[in-house]
Amino acid sequence: MAYDAVYLDYNASAPLDPRVAEAMLPALTDAVGNAASSHRFGRFQTVAVDKAREQVAALVGARPGNVIFTSGATEANNLALKGITETAPPQRSRILISAVEHASIRRVAEWLEINGICQVDRISVTPLGFTDIDELKSLLRDDVLMVSVMAANSETGILNPIAEIADLAHEHGSLMHCDATQMVGRSYFDAESAGVDLTSISAHKIYGPQGVGALVGTSQSLKHLTPQTHGGGQEQGLRSGSMNVAGAVGLGFAAELACEEHGKDADRIAPMRDHLVTEIQRRLPDVTQNGDVTKRLPNTANLHFSGANSDAVVSNMDPVAVSTGSACSAGVIEPSQVLLAMGLSDEAASESVRFSLGRFTTPEDIETAIERTVEAVTHVRSLNDDYNKPNTSDGEHHEWQTTTTPATTERTVEQRELVPVG
Protein backbone atom coordinates (compact mmCIF):
# COMPACT_ATOMS: atom_id res chain seq x y z
CA MET A 1 0.00 0.00 0.00
CA ALA A 2 1.44 3.29 -1.12
CA TYR A 3 0.22 5.43 1.78
CA ASP A 4 2.30 6.18 4.91
CA ALA A 5 -0.74 7.74 6.47
CA VAL A 6 -3.53 5.78 8.07
CA TYR A 7 -6.18 5.84 5.39
CA LEU A 8 -9.70 5.25 6.70
CA ASP A 9 -11.62 6.86 3.86
CA TYR A 10 -12.28 3.85 1.62
CA ASN A 11 -15.85 4.95 0.89
CA ALA A 12 -14.48 8.08 -0.77
CA SER A 13 -12.02 6.06 -2.85
CA ALA A 14 -10.22 2.78 -2.20
CA PRO A 15 -6.53 2.52 -3.12
CA LEU A 16 -5.66 0.60 -6.26
CA ASP A 17 -4.90 -3.03 -5.46
CA PRO A 18 -1.36 -3.76 -6.77
CA ARG A 19 -2.72 -6.93 -8.39
CA VAL A 20 -5.17 -4.78 -10.36
CA ALA A 21 -2.37 -2.45 -11.42
CA GLU A 22 -0.42 -5.46 -12.66
CA ALA A 23 -3.40 -6.80 -14.58
CA MET A 24 -3.81 -3.41 -16.27
CA LEU A 25 -0.17 -3.11 -17.34
CA PRO A 26 -0.38 -5.01 -20.66
CA ALA A 27 -3.33 -2.87 -21.71
CA LEU A 28 -1.34 0.26 -20.84
CA THR A 29 2.02 -0.68 -22.27
CA ASP A 30 1.85 -3.47 -24.87
CA ALA A 31 -1.44 -2.85 -26.58
CA VAL A 32 -1.94 -0.49 -29.49
CA GLY A 33 -5.01 0.11 -31.58
CA ASN A 34 -8.62 0.87 -30.95
CA ALA A 35 -10.99 -1.74 -29.57
CA ALA A 36 -13.39 -0.84 -32.38
CA SER A 37 -10.89 -1.73 -35.15
CA SER A 38 -11.22 -5.10 -36.84
CA HIS A 39 -7.48 -5.74 -37.30
CA ARG A 40 -5.51 -7.95 -34.91
CA PHE A 41 -4.60 -5.01 -32.65
CA GLY A 42 -8.24 -4.05 -32.28
CA ARG A 43 -9.22 -7.67 -31.67
CA PHE A 44 -6.64 -7.95 -28.88
CA GLN A 45 -8.33 -5.01 -27.17
CA THR A 46 -11.81 -6.41 -27.72
CA VAL A 47 -10.84 -9.73 -26.16
CA ALA A 48 -9.54 -7.93 -23.08
CA VAL A 49 -12.70 -5.81 -22.79
CA ASP A 50 -14.98 -8.82 -23.27
CA LYS A 51 -13.22 -10.65 -20.46
CA ALA A 52 -13.75 -7.57 -18.27
CA ARG A 53 -17.45 -7.61 -19.18
CA GLU A 54 -17.70 -11.19 -17.93
CA GLN A 55 -15.93 -10.33 -14.69
CA VAL A 56 -18.18 -7.33 -14.03
CA ALA A 57 -21.30 -9.32 -14.89
CA ALA A 58 -20.29 -12.05 -12.46
CA LEU A 59 -19.85 -9.52 -9.65
CA VAL A 60 -23.21 -7.84 -10.20
CA GLY A 61 -25.28 -10.87 -11.19
CA ALA A 62 -26.02 -9.99 -14.80
CA ARG A 63 -25.22 -11.00 -18.38
CA PRO A 64 -21.90 -9.85 -19.87
CA GLY A 65 -23.69 -8.42 -22.90
CA ASN A 66 -25.61 -6.07 -20.61
CA VAL A 67 -22.57 -4.30 -19.16
CA ILE A 68 -22.15 -0.74 -20.46
CA PHE A 69 -18.76 0.68 -19.49
CA THR A 70 -18.80 4.33 -18.41
CA SER A 71 -16.40 6.80 -16.82
CA GLY A 72 -17.71 5.93 -13.37
CA ALA A 73 -20.86 5.68 -11.30
CA THR A 74 -21.68 9.36 -11.82
CA GLU A 75 -22.02 8.82 -15.55
CA ALA A 76 -23.85 5.52 -15.02
CA ASN A 77 -26.38 7.27 -12.77
CA ASN A 78 -26.81 10.10 -15.28
CA LEU A 79 -27.36 7.61 -18.10
CA ALA A 80 -29.89 5.65 -16.05
CA LEU A 81 -32.01 8.63 -15.02
CA LYS A 82 -31.73 10.91 -18.04
CA GLY A 83 -31.66 7.98 -20.45
CA ILE A 84 -34.87 6.50 -19.13
CA THR A 85 -36.87 9.72 -18.93
CA GLU A 86 -36.20 10.85 -22.49
CA THR A 87 -38.38 8.25 -24.19
CA ALA A 88 -40.81 7.61 -21.36
CA PRO A 89 -44.50 7.32 -22.29
CA PRO A 90 -46.45 10.40 -21.13
CA GLN A 91 -48.44 8.39 -18.58
CA ARG A 92 -45.18 7.54 -16.76
CA SER A 93 -44.32 11.02 -15.57
CA ARG A 94 -42.78 10.53 -12.13
CA ILE A 95 -39.59 9.06 -10.74
CA LEU A 96 -38.93 8.26 -7.09
CA ILE A 97 -35.53 8.58 -5.47
CA SER A 98 -34.54 8.17 -1.85
CA ALA A 99 -33.73 11.38 -0.01
CA VAL A 100 -30.17 10.23 0.72
CA GLU A 101 -28.93 9.31 -2.74
CA HIS A 102 -25.50 10.33 -3.96
CA ALA A 103 -25.30 13.78 -5.58
CA SER A 104 -25.09 12.13 -9.01
CA ILE A 105 -28.68 10.99 -8.51
CA ARG A 106 -30.00 13.94 -6.49
CA ARG A 107 -28.64 16.59 -8.86
CA VAL A 108 -29.78 14.78 -12.00
CA ALA A 109 -33.24 14.47 -10.45
CA GLU A 110 -33.25 18.22 -9.73
CA TRP A 111 -32.22 18.89 -13.33
CA LEU A 112 -35.01 16.68 -14.68
CA GLU A 113 -37.50 18.50 -12.49
CA ILE A 114 -36.29 22.02 -13.30
CA ASN A 115 -36.39 21.28 -17.00
CA GLY A 116 -39.93 19.95 -16.75
CA ILE A 117 -38.91 16.51 -17.97
CA CYS A 118 -40.53 14.63 -15.12
CA GLN A 119 -41.78 15.00 -11.57
CA VAL A 120 -39.49 13.71 -8.85
CA ASP A 121 -40.62 12.55 -5.42
CA ARG A 122 -38.14 11.93 -2.65
CA ILE A 123 -38.70 9.00 -0.32
CA SER A 124 -37.79 9.87 3.27
CA VAL A 125 -35.48 7.75 5.36
CA THR A 126 -36.15 6.51 8.88
CA PRO A 127 -34.06 7.83 11.81
CA LEU A 128 -31.92 4.68 11.44
CA GLY A 129 -31.19 5.58 7.82
CA PHE A 130 -33.36 3.08 5.90
CA THR A 131 -35.61 4.00 2.99
CA ASP A 132 -39.09 4.44 4.48
CA ILE A 133 -41.01 1.56 2.91
CA ASP A 134 -44.44 2.84 4.02
CA GLU A 135 -43.76 6.16 2.35
CA LEU A 136 -42.52 4.39 -0.78
CA LYS A 137 -45.78 2.42 -0.88
CA SER A 138 -47.84 5.59 -0.59
CA LEU A 139 -45.85 7.30 -3.37
CA LEU A 140 -45.93 4.36 -5.78
CA ARG A 141 -48.66 4.59 -8.38
CA ASP A 142 -48.94 3.47 -11.98
CA ASP A 143 -47.50 6.78 -13.21
CA VAL A 144 -44.04 6.00 -11.76
CA LEU A 145 -41.43 5.38 -14.43
CA MET A 146 -38.52 4.43 -12.24
CA VAL A 147 -37.57 3.99 -8.59
CA SER A 148 -33.93 4.71 -7.77
CA VAL A 149 -32.65 3.63 -4.36
CA MET A 150 -29.03 2.98 -3.42
CA ALA A 151 -28.01 -0.41 -2.04
CA ALA A 152 -25.67 0.94 0.65
CA ASN A 153 -25.31 4.51 1.81
CA SER A 154 -21.83 6.00 1.42
CA GLU A 155 -21.94 7.95 4.68
CA THR A 156 -23.59 5.54 7.08
CA GLY A 157 -23.16 2.21 5.28
CA ILE A 158 -26.88 1.48 5.86
CA LEU A 159 -28.16 -1.35 3.65
CA ASN A 160 -31.55 -0.98 1.99
CA PRO A 161 -33.91 -3.92 1.32
CA ILE A 162 -33.40 -3.66 -2.44
CA ALA A 163 -35.28 -6.85 -3.42
CA GLU A 164 -38.37 -5.70 -1.50
CA ILE A 165 -38.18 -2.22 -3.06
CA ALA A 166 -37.75 -3.72 -6.55
CA ASP A 167 -40.79 -5.97 -6.00
CA LEU A 168 -42.90 -2.97 -5.00
CA ALA A 169 -41.68 -0.99 -8.01
CA HIS A 170 -42.48 -3.85 -10.38
CA GLU A 171 -45.99 -4.25 -8.94
CA HIS A 172 -46.67 -0.80 -10.39
CA GLY A 173 -44.92 -1.47 -13.69
CA SER A 174 -42.01 0.77 -12.71
CA LEU A 175 -38.34 0.06 -13.43
CA MET A 176 -35.88 -0.33 -10.57
CA HIS A 177 -32.50 1.40 -10.64
CA CYS A 178 -29.98 0.76 -7.90
CA ASP A 179 -26.78 2.68 -7.26
CA ALA A 180 -24.73 -0.23 -5.89
CA THR A 181 -21.44 1.69 -5.92
CA GLN A 182 -20.76 1.24 -2.20
CA MET A 183 -22.30 -2.21 -1.98
CA VAL A 184 -20.56 -4.34 -4.58
CA GLY A 185 -17.32 -5.81 -3.36
CA ARG A 186 -18.23 -5.10 0.27
CA SER A 187 -21.39 -7.18 0.72
CA TYR A 188 -23.27 -9.67 -1.42
CA PHE A 189 -25.25 -8.10 -4.26
CA ASP A 190 -27.01 -9.88 -7.11
CA ALA A 191 -29.04 -7.69 -9.45
CA GLU A 192 -30.90 -10.56 -11.08
CA SER A 193 -32.15 -12.19 -7.89
CA ALA A 194 -32.93 -8.78 -6.34
CA GLY A 195 -34.95 -7.85 -9.44
CA VAL A 196 -32.90 -4.75 -10.22
CA ASP A 197 -33.24 -3.54 -13.81
CA LEU A 198 -30.32 -1.10 -13.87
CA THR A 199 -27.27 -1.12 -11.57
CA SER A 200 -24.52 1.50 -11.29
CA ILE A 201 -21.03 0.64 -10.10
CA SER A 202 -17.61 2.28 -9.94
CA ALA A 203 -14.12 0.73 -10.10
CA HIS A 204 -12.40 2.95 -7.54
CA LYS A 205 -14.60 1.77 -4.66
CA ILE A 206 -13.48 -1.82 -5.24
CA TYR A 207 -9.70 -1.27 -5.49
CA GLY A 208 -9.79 -0.58 -9.23
CA PRO A 209 -8.72 2.59 -11.08
CA GLN A 210 -10.55 5.91 -10.90
CA GLY A 211 -12.46 7.09 -13.95
CA VAL A 212 -14.19 3.87 -14.94
CA GLY A 213 -17.46 2.25 -13.95
CA ALA A 214 -20.47 0.62 -15.52
CA LEU A 215 -24.20 0.70 -15.90
CA VAL A 216 -25.38 -2.88 -15.90
CA GLY A 217 -28.86 -3.60 -17.16
CA THR A 218 -31.16 -6.33 -18.33
CA SER A 219 -31.71 -6.83 -22.06
CA GLN A 220 -35.13 -5.21 -21.65
CA SER A 221 -34.14 -2.19 -19.55
CA LEU A 222 -31.23 -1.23 -21.82
CA LYS A 223 -33.66 -1.01 -24.77
CA HIS A 224 -35.52 1.78 -22.94
CA LEU A 225 -32.42 3.97 -22.56
CA THR A 226 -31.56 6.91 -24.79
CA PRO A 227 -27.81 7.61 -25.11
CA GLN A 228 -26.52 10.70 -23.40
CA THR A 229 -23.18 10.69 -25.24
CA HIS A 230 -23.40 10.62 -29.01
CA GLY A 231 -20.65 9.66 -31.42
CA GLY A 232 -19.19 6.42 -32.73
CA GLY A 233 -21.91 4.22 -31.25
CA GLN A 234 -19.76 2.14 -28.90
CA GLU A 235 -21.34 0.19 -26.04
CA GLN A 236 -24.49 -0.70 -27.99
CA GLY A 237 -24.84 2.95 -28.96
CA LEU A 238 -25.42 3.89 -25.35
CA ARG A 239 -22.02 5.32 -24.57
CA SER A 240 -20.01 6.54 -27.52
CA GLY A 241 -16.28 7.13 -27.24
CA SER A 242 -13.18 4.97 -27.74
CA MET A 243 -13.10 2.30 -25.06
CA ASN A 244 -10.93 2.92 -22.01
CA VAL A 245 -9.40 -0.54 -22.37
CA ALA A 246 -7.02 -0.37 -19.42
CA GLY A 247 -9.79 1.03 -17.25
CA ALA A 248 -12.20 -1.73 -18.24
CA VAL A 249 -9.53 -4.37 -17.62
CA GLY A 250 -8.86 -2.81 -14.20
CA LEU A 251 -12.56 -2.75 -13.30
CA GLY A 252 -12.92 -6.33 -14.52
CA PHE A 253 -10.00 -7.67 -12.51
CA ALA A 254 -11.05 -5.68 -9.43
CA ALA A 255 -14.52 -7.22 -9.82
CA GLU A 256 -13.03 -10.73 -10.01
CA LEU A 257 -11.01 -10.13 -6.85
CA ALA A 258 -14.10 -8.68 -5.15
CA CYS A 259 -16.10 -11.81 -6.01
CA GLU A 260 -13.42 -14.02 -4.52
CA GLU A 261 -12.42 -11.93 -1.54
CA HIS A 262 -15.30 -9.79 -0.30
CA GLY A 263 -16.35 -12.37 2.30
CA LYS A 264 -12.80 -12.77 3.60
CA ASP A 265 -12.31 -8.98 3.57
CA ALA A 266 -15.54 -8.44 5.54
CA ASP A 267 -14.59 -11.07 8.15
CA ARG A 268 -11.33 -9.24 8.77
CA ILE A 269 -12.59 -5.67 8.53
CA ALA A 270 -15.82 -5.75 10.59
CA PRO A 271 -14.08 -6.75 13.87
CA MET A 272 -11.52 -3.97 13.37
CA ARG A 273 -14.33 -1.46 12.77
CA ASP A 274 -16.14 -2.69 15.89
CA HIS A 275 -12.98 -2.49 17.99
CA LEU A 276 -12.38 1.07 16.78
CA VAL A 277 -15.88 2.15 17.81
CA THR A 278 -15.89 0.30 21.15
CA GLU A 279 -12.51 1.68 22.15
CA ILE A 280 -13.35 5.26 21.15
CA GLN A 281 -16.61 5.04 23.11
CA ARG A 282 -14.79 3.56 26.12
CA ARG A 283 -12.29 6.39 26.16
CA LEU A 284 -14.49 9.34 25.26
CA PRO A 285 -17.86 10.38 26.68
CA ASP A 286 -20.75 11.56 24.51
CA VAL A 287 -20.01 9.49 21.41
CA THR A 288 -22.91 7.83 19.59
CA GLN A 289 -23.23 5.99 16.31
CA ASN A 290 -25.39 7.37 13.51
CA GLY A 291 -27.70 4.93 11.80
CA ASP A 292 -28.54 1.30 12.35
CA VAL A 293 -25.60 -0.76 13.55
CA THR A 294 -26.90 -4.18 12.52
CA LYS A 295 -27.69 -3.74 8.82
CA ARG A 296 -24.77 -1.79 7.48
CA LEU A 297 -21.60 -2.30 5.46
CA PRO A 298 -18.91 -4.18 7.39
CA ASN A 299 -16.38 -1.39 6.85
CA THR A 300 -18.27 1.77 7.85
CA ALA A 301 -18.99 3.58 11.11
CA ASN A 302 -20.41 7.08 11.40
CA LEU A 303 -19.78 8.61 14.83
CA HIS A 304 -21.27 11.67 16.46
CA PHE A 305 -18.84 13.42 18.83
CA SER A 306 -21.00 15.77 20.83
CA GLY A 307 -19.40 19.19 21.29
CA ALA A 308 -16.65 18.63 18.68
CA ASN A 309 -17.03 20.15 15.22
CA SER A 310 -16.16 17.38 12.79
CA ASP A 311 -14.19 19.55 10.36
CA ALA A 312 -11.98 20.67 13.23
CA VAL A 313 -11.62 17.07 14.43
CA VAL A 314 -10.72 15.74 10.99
CA SER A 315 -8.20 18.56 10.46
CA ASN A 316 -6.50 17.59 13.71
CA MET A 317 -6.25 13.85 13.11
CA ASP A 318 -3.17 13.72 10.93
CA PRO A 319 -1.83 11.17 9.86
CA VAL A 320 -5.25 9.57 10.01
CA ALA A 321 -7.50 10.31 7.04
CA VAL A 322 -11.23 10.13 7.75
CA SER A 323 -14.09 12.15 6.42
CA THR A 324 -16.96 14.38 7.41
CA GLY A 325 -20.15 14.25 5.41
CA SER A 326 -20.08 17.98 4.94
CA ALA A 327 -19.75 19.50 1.53
CA CYS A 328 -18.53 22.88 0.41
CA SER A 329 -21.13 24.36 -1.85
CA ALA A 330 -20.65 27.88 -3.20
CA GLY A 331 -18.11 28.56 -0.45
CA VAL A 332 -20.48 27.58 2.36
CA ILE A 333 -19.83 24.47 4.41
CA GLU A 334 -23.06 22.54 4.76
CA PRO A 335 -23.67 19.63 7.10
CA SER A 336 -24.32 16.20 5.62
CA GLN A 337 -27.64 15.99 3.78
CA VAL A 338 -27.77 12.28 4.62
CA LEU A 339 -27.60 12.84 8.37
CA LEU A 340 -30.05 15.74 8.22
CA ALA A 341 -32.49 13.54 6.30
CA MET A 342 -32.20 11.00 9.13
CA GLY A 343 -33.40 13.68 11.51
CA LEU A 344 -30.11 14.79 13.08
CA SER A 345 -29.92 18.46 14.00
CA ASP A 346 -27.55 20.74 12.05
CA GLU A 347 -25.28 20.70 15.08
CA ALA A 348 -25.23 16.91 15.44
CA ALA A 349 -24.67 16.46 11.70
CA SER A 350 -21.71 18.85 11.80
CA GLU A 351 -20.20 16.91 14.69
CA SER A 352 -20.20 13.56 12.86
CA VAL A 353 -17.26 11.74 11.32
CA ARG A 354 -17.22 8.78 8.93
CA PHE A 355 -14.63 6.04 9.36
CA SER A 356 -14.43 3.64 6.42
CA LEU A 357 -11.95 0.77 6.45
CA GLY A 358 -10.80 -1.54 3.70
CA ARG A 359 -8.64 -4.35 2.40
CA PHE A 360 -5.36 -2.75 3.41
CA THR A 361 -6.37 -1.56 6.88
CA THR A 362 -4.24 -3.13 9.63
CA PRO A 363 -4.81 -3.53 13.39
CA GLU A 364 -1.94 -1.04 13.89
CA ASP A 365 -3.81 1.52 11.76
CA ILE A 366 -6.81 1.08 14.04
CA GLU A 367 -4.74 1.67 17.20
CA THR A 368 -3.32 4.86 15.66
CA ALA A 369 -6.80 5.95 14.64
CA ILE A 370 -8.14 5.40 18.16
CA GLU A 371 -5.30 7.44 19.70
CA ARG A 372 -5.61 10.27 17.23
CA THR A 373 -9.41 10.41 17.45
CA VAL A 374 -9.34 10.59 21.23
CA GLU A 375 -6.69 13.32 21.12
CA ALA A 376 -8.37 15.37 18.41
CA VAL A 377 -11.87 15.21 19.91
CA THR A 378 -10.55 16.02 23.39
CA HIS A 379 -8.64 18.98 21.98
CA VAL A 380 -11.53 20.35 19.93
CA ARG A 381 -13.92 19.97 22.86
CA SER A 382 -11.48 21.82 25.13
CA LEU A 383 -11.96 24.88 22.91
CA ASN A 384 -15.75 24.67 22.98
CA ASP A 385 -17.07 26.81 25.86
CA ASP A 386 -20.60 25.52 25.40
CA TYR A 387 -19.50 21.93 25.78
CA ASN A 388 -17.47 22.76 28.88
CA LYS A 389 -20.21 24.73 30.63
CA PRO A 390 -21.39 23.14 33.87
CA ASN A 391 -24.70 21.39 33.39
CA THR A 392 -26.86 23.64 35.58
CA SER A 393 -29.59 21.04 36.02
CA ASP A 394 -27.39 18.65 38.00
CA GLY A 395 -24.39 20.91 38.63
CA GLU A 396 -22.01 18.47 36.93
CA HIS A 397 -19.41 18.97 34.21
CA HIS A 398 -18.93 16.59 31.36
CA GLU A 399 -16.31 14.22 32.72
CA TRP A 400 -13.47 13.55 30.31
CA GLN A 401 -11.79 10.22 30.77
CA THR A 402 -8.01 10.33 30.86
CA THR A 403 -6.45 9.11 27.66
CA THR A 404 -3.21 7.13 27.62
CA THR A 405 -1.72 9.78 25.34
CA PRO A 406 -2.72 13.27 26.45
CA ALA A 407 -4.06 15.65 23.83
CA THR A 408 -1.35 17.63 22.07
CA THR A 409 -2.69 21.10 22.69
CA GLU A 410 -0.10 22.73 20.46
CA ARG A 411 -1.91 21.34 17.41
CA THR A 412 -3.99 24.11 15.90
CA VAL A 413 -7.57 23.79 14.83
CA GLU A 414 -7.32 24.62 11.19
CA GLN A 415 -9.97 24.76 8.54
CA ARG A 416 -9.31 22.91 5.35
CA GLU A 417 -10.87 23.22 2.00
CA LEU A 418 -13.77 20.83 1.77
CA VAL A 419 -14.91 18.84 -1.19
CA PRO A 420 -17.93 16.59 -1.33
CA VAL A 421 -17.00 13.10 -0.21
CA GLY A 422 -18.05 9.87 -1.82
Contacts with ligand PMP, residue ranges (CB under 6 A): 72-74, 102, 104, 150, 154, 179, 181-182, 202, 213, 422
Considering beta carbons, is residue 48 or 150 the nearer one to ligand PMP?
A: 150
User: Which one, 31 or 327, has the nearer CB to ligand PMP?
Assistant: 327
Kindly tell me which of 313 and 338 has the beta carbon lying closer to ligand PMP.
338
Residue 81 near residue 70 (C-beta atoms within 8 A): no
Catalytic status, residue 328:
yes
H or E stretch including 375? helix 363-382
> Using CA atoms, how far apart are residues 32 and 180, in angstroms rounded to an integer?
33
Shortest distance (Å) from residue 95 CB to ligand PMP: 17
Cα radius of gyration rounded to whole Å, the chain:
23
Min CB(338)–ligand PMP separation in Å: 10
Please identify, using beta-carbon distances, which residue of 207 and 305 lies nearer to ligand PMP. 207
CB of 9 to ligand PMP, least distance (A): 11
CA atoms within 13 A of residue 151's CA, in its CB half-sphere:
25
CB of 300 to ligand PMP, least distance (A): 11
Handedness of CA 207, 213, 219, 224 (dihedral sign): positive
SS3 state at 96? strand
Phi and psi angles of residue 98, each rounded to the nearest 5 degrees, phi first: -80, 155
**Of 250, 306, 253, 302, which Cα lies nearest the Cα of 277?**
302
Of these residues, 118, 178, 259, 328, which one is catalytic? 328
| Position of minimal CB gap to ligand PMP | 422
Measured from the CB of residue 340, what is the shortest distance to ligand PMP in angstroms?
17
Nearer to ligand PMP, 325 or 422 (CB): 422
Decide: residue 139, CB within 10 A, 0-12 exposed, 13-18 middle, 19+ buried: middle
Q: Please check whether residue 158 is in contact with residue 295, taking contact to mean a CB–CB distance below 8 angstroms.
A: yes
C-alpha dihedral, 394 to 397 to 401 to 407, nearest 10°: 170
By annotation, the residues acting in catalysis are: 328
